[in-house]
Amino acid sequence: MSIQYLHTMVRVSDIDASLKFFCDGLGLTEVSRMDSEAGRFTLVFLATPEDVERMGGMPDGVSPTQTDIPMVELTYNWDPEDYAGGRNFGHLAFRVDNIYETCQSLMHQGVTINRPPRDGYMAFIRSPDGISIELLQRGEKLAVEEPWGSMPNTGSW
């Protein structure tokens, strides 16, 4: 059996807040968008700039599911729905160059660090819709630094 990861789909209640979080906060880039008038939904595919570059870019006119670029698919249903929880499917995981700088940048944008990177390696945050996001340090763990080393957990992750 052969299997290849394509994307993770998450439903979002506010497309603008979600794009701000994923693009401005985490640094993902929008690679494709599709509005379905008949279905009353919008699909937005996001990827890291590094993955898009590594895979040779996003070809024009090609469906995101036909590329080798790993993506997050944001599904925005135009009719209001309540997406309680968000953790029921697990989490999305992203590798970052500097866990402390990333968490500090996110905090400056008002994002709560639910599980701070006390170990210099791993942190958890949540999207505006409560989706659990794991952040992992690229390479070796960083030396423990304050305020991270003694920062308590906040909420659930």
Using CA atoms, how far apart are residues 76 and 13, in angstroms rounded to an integer? 6
pTM, to two decimals: 0.77
The DSSP secondary structure of 16-72, one letter per residue, reads HHHHIIIIIIT--EEEEEEEETTTTEEEEEEE-HHHHHHTT---TT--GGGSS--EE
Using CA atoms, how far apart are residues 113 and 157, in angstroms rounded to an integer? 9
Average pLDDT over residues 113-118: 97
Pairing of strands 132-137, 41-47: unpaired
Burial class for 152, CB neighbours closer than 10 Å (0-12, 13-18, 19+): exposed
Which amino acids are annotated catalytic? Answer: 134
- The per-residue pLDDT for 88 is 44
Q: Tell me which amino acid residue 120 is.
A: G
| Terminal Cα distance for the chain, rounded | 33
Res 86 pLDDT > 80: no
- The first and second tokens of residue 116, run together, are 């701070």
Average pLDDT over residues 118-140: 91
Res 147 pLDDT > 90: yes
Q: pLDDT tens digits, residue range 25-43?
A: 999 999 999 999 999 999 9
Long-range Cβ contacts of 103-108 (<8 Å, 24+ apart): 103/135, 103/148, 105/25, 106/25, 106/26
* 44 phi, psi to nearest 5 deg: -125, 125
